[in-house]
Chains A and B, each alone.
Chain A
């Protein structure tokens, strides 16, 4: 009824540094409680923060990849509030002078078009620890291993206009930070978190409505659902004559709704001021250019290049460039068999390989079939040594065999070589036509579809080894005679 939703996303990406942003503690996930909490992380009296060079470099790379301006001078500020997972009673973050700002990112829309989403800023800050709510005689337990892990907070302009767009934007950022190698984007482990700011307004109205902040969105799906459900809630509220309250709400995945979060502290007056323990971070052009040189080919550019150079559709190119690892696998495979059409190799990756990886919960780095073998299999399909369906079987064999798998050996051992000998096929076709007079008549009578059944019969006779296209052709020829 003429409503429009306006969404902005705040994404916190944990940076993949070895040590924390202000201390030399490890950032490794899963360590035993408080085993990675140094005096600096614990906020002991007298300790001081020292800035991790790699965190700065990673933030700048993100800025460069999104066309941001890099602040020549950026400042760390203290965000003051009390919470048990915040040892110093303040978080070192950035406020007025973030390290990068004013960028943008293009996202692919469902209809194939692109939309540019503004990136207001991205800044560095330290992560807090974790509260474990297991009951310790009515108390909570605090683990500070995570306290001090570097975060890049990426804030978008409120340019998103649907839950789907928000999901796409989030996925695009997710892919980008992994391409850049600045974050592993692991949402289960909490290294990629998202909050959404949602408001609605009547179409045509240029003012922004009151927004709510949605937290606890730890998957792409939840982000979209939460936004949808919150949008509905706000619209109903306003249509009933109510008012949207500016507040923080949590998404409940079980109930698929949002609820008010109990306010942690009454007035969130963070009393930001520049952290006197840290000097301004000065970034010169030399560093910026050096880092620009280190940027990998970015996802959008790689996708476009795949479309152009390898004659792939946008969709396929998108899938192949979803992760840098997959794109690299693809290109390695291409290099191994430069004469094989890219589509053929892409197909094997998208179907057989992806299915196997998903089945065993592996990432493409852990593929049991190396790119050269996959490419060779594609070549064998291309030169008709095996049929597509037989290729499936070969792939599984290769997968089970792991490193020792070799395409030609498997084809040989399993007798999967496709039969292309015309006279052999003609013999089978004759047999099938003779054995199935009814269907043959039906085909001759104009029922084209029945050819499928007949082809199937020939394939059965040939134990799947006859080349299906030839079978089809020969059947048709003979039936028409």
Chain B
């Protein structure tokens, strides 16, 4: 397999048996030209899921019948010449997005019995575009985690090495796309939950500018940080999916009114010579030297392409983990108060009074990590601690944001590693929350400042993928995607397939 997947939309004979190798962009062409049908495509992926997902545990729910019905409808639309680039394309949604009539669990016992009565806006928009949903993917419980080991439904395994984690919290989406069980998947990113799994599984994962995609229907973890995004195999595919998802939503007060540019078109704009800032903060002792090497090589690719690298220093970035672990749990502790066994979700058997009822329901419904974060959140917001923790964290957050803004006066993009190491072993860090939190060290800064960021594969260490992170100023998704796309034309890391998942 060569670089064909990055050379655009040449008419290509799609071998039915290996439809899963094609990108969304290629499949869109094939569907449009009626060389394949959505029904064939959907059945193909459903078969792969049935055959291969047991070992990965990427899916919580597979919606076989609904998918086939959607595929039929997509085929009708395509036949009428009425499709979009996503019509008929099989995708999956992270189980944090509400999907009407379909179980939406957030990876938690608390919502194990919850059938959402409505579609999240992001889901509705992809549906409107004609994408076919194959199911809901596994995730860290309520998006709290960096390894997909906290799910009520069991851990997800990294298709590159099933003894390793796929990353989290969007681990299921990452594993599913990497194993070619779907063409693309939605994810959410609060502290790195799209980018880090993308890095661990060799994918392109993008977290757009805060407010770019509506949060309506996306179960809230940390409201001022959460963003919906995508996990795909190429930047080109990310552009296609993001195009449908993005845009203002009157039901989300925090969604941006700014018009959505044509992301796909931006990919093909002539390459401009960017200045890329490389923060020394990112190349610290915690960074695995092999990862560092690959990232530096990736940066030299950009130089070859005409970019100029510039060393920068982000003064307060070392405080981003403490800031995050105050702000995110604080908001989460409040957001999760609605889970009380009264109107939906898990309800404990309880013969006592109201307080006991709440405590038992929530004690049973939530896992250990979620409980820890709720308690942390309650602590940092409580009387006497609010100023020292929550208020102080929001102030330092302002400083971090200002650091980025200042840096972007001199550089067009900021680049560095996505993660300190490649994927670690299942069970390796689960016993030490702090160790787990430090995984997020490079990815946490961008959400604190609301900035868009993505990860693109830039090499392998011991047969495990390594990601390069690009961060841009507000509303610069075009620039990010174009840079990743350009990089993907020069390299082939993004085309690698985990062994065992080629067929």
Residues of A within 8 A of B (CB): 39, 42-51, 78, 80, 82, 84, 87-90, 142, 265, 269, 271-273, 276-279
Describe B's contact surface by its main secondary structure. Answer: loop
Say whether B354 contacts A84, CB under 8 Å: yes
B residues 83-124 touching A (CB-CB < 8 Å) = 97-98, 104, 106, 111, 114, 116-118, 120
Chain A residue contacts of B342, Cβ below 8 A: 84, 87, 142
| Residue in A43, A269, A278 whose beta carbon sits within 8 Å of that of B338 in the complex | A43
Distance from A309 Cβ to chain B, minimum over Cβ atoms (Å): 48
Chain A residue contacts of B223, Cβ below 8 A: 276-277
Say whether B390 contacts A273, CB under 8 Å: yes
Say whether A271 contacts B382, CB under 8 Å: yes
Known A48-B215, A49-B253; 4 more pairs at CB < 8 Å: A45-B104, A45-B114, A78-B334, A277-B220
B residues 326-354 touching A (CB-CB < 8 Å) = 330-331, 333-334, 336-340, 342-344, 354
Distance from B226 Cβ to chain A, minimum over Cβ atoms (Å): 9
Chain B residue contacts of A90, Cβ below 8 A: 334, 337
Q: Contacts A49-B253, A277-B253, A279-B253 hold; do A89 and B338 have CB atoms under 8 A apart? A: yes
Say whether A50 contacts B250, CB under 8 Å: yes
Say whether B253 contacts A46, CB under 8 Å: no
Closest to B142 in A: A45
Distance from A401 Cβ to chain B, minimum over Cβ atoms (Å): 53
Distance from B371 Cβ to chain A, minimum over Cβ atoms (Å): 15
Q: Is B476 an interface residue (CB 8 A)?
A: no
Chain A residue contacts of B254, Cβ below 8 A: 48, 276-277, 279
* Alpha-carbon distance between A238 and B336 when the two chains are bound, in angstroms: 45
Residues of B within 8 A of A (CB): 97-98, 104, 106, 111, 114, 116-118, 120, 215-220, 222-224, 250-254, 330-331, 333-334, 336-340, 342-344, 354-355, 358, 378, 381-383, 386, 390
Distance from A20 Cβ to chain B, minimum over Cβ atoms (Å): 14
Chain B residue contacts of A269, Cβ below 8 A: 382-383
Chain A residue contacts of B98, Cβ below 8 A: 45-46
Chain B residue contacts of A43, Cβ below 8 A: 338, 343
Chain B residue contacts of A78, Cβ below 8 A: 334
| Residue in B333, B338, B378, B381 whose beta carbon sits within 8 Å of that of A88 in the complex | B338
Say whether B390 contacts A278, CB under 8 Å: no
Q: Contacts A273-B381, A279-B254 hold; do A45 and B219 have CB atoms under 8 A apart? A: yes
* Alpha-carbon distance between A46 and B338 when the two chains are bound, in angstroms: 11
* Alpha-carbon distance between A216 and B188 when the two chains are bound, in angstroms: 45
Distance from A24 Cβ to chain B, minimum over Cβ atoms (Å): 10
Chain A residue contacts of B218, Cβ below 8 A: 46
Closest to A144 in B: B343
Q: Contacts A269-B383, A273-B381 hold; do A42 and B343 have CB atoms under 8 A apart? A: yes
| Residue in B215, B339, B340, B378 whose beta carbon sits within 8 Å of that of A271 in the complex | B378
Chain A residue contacts of B355, Cβ below 8 A: 82, 265
Say whether A80 contacts B215, CB under 8 Å: no
For B106, B217, B334, the residue with the greatest tally of chain A CB atoms inside 10 Å of its CB is B334
Chain B residue contacts of A82, Cβ below 8 A: 337, 340, 355, 358
Can you spell out 15 A-B residue pairs with CB atoms less than 8 angstroms apart?
Answer: A39-B117, A44-B117, A44-B338, A45-B98, A45-B114, A46-B116, A46-B216, A46-B220, A48-B215, A50-B253, A80-B337, A84-B354, A272-B386, A276-B223, A279-B254
Distance from B202 Cβ to chain A, minimum over Cβ atoms (Å): 30
Chain A residue contacts of B339, Cβ below 8 A: 45
Chain B residue contacts of A80, Cβ below 8 A: 333-334, 337, 381
* Alpha-carbon distance between A48 and B117 when the two chains are bound, in angstroms: 15
Distance from A43 Cβ to chain B, minimum over Cβ atoms (Å): 4
Say whether A276 contacts B117, CB under 8 Å: no
* Alpha-carbon distance between A279 and B114 when the two chains are bound, in angstroms: 30
Distance from B221 Cβ to chain A, minimum over Cβ atoms (Å): 11
Chain A residue contacts of B381, Cβ below 8 A: 80, 271, 273
Closest to B215 in A: A48
Distance from A423 Cβ to chain B, minimum over Cβ atoms (Å): 82
* Alpha-carbon distance between A276 and B335 when the two chains are bound, in angstroms: 10
* Alpha-carbon distance between A365 and B254 when the two chains are bound, in angstroms: 44
Chain A residue contacts of B116, Cβ below 8 A: 45-46
Say whether A48 contacts B253, CB under 8 Å: yes
Distance from B390 Cβ to chain A, minimum over Cβ atoms (Å): 6
Distance from B203 Cβ to chain A, minimum over Cβ atoms (Å): 25
Chain A residue contacts of B358, Cβ below 8 A: 82
Chain B residue contacts of A276, Cβ below 8 A: 222-224, 254, 331
Say whether A273 contacts B343, CB under 8 Å: no
Distance from B403 Cβ to chain A, minimum over Cβ atoms (Å): 21
* Alpha-carbon distance between A42 and B330 when the two chains are bound, in angstroms: 22
Closest to B379 in A: A271
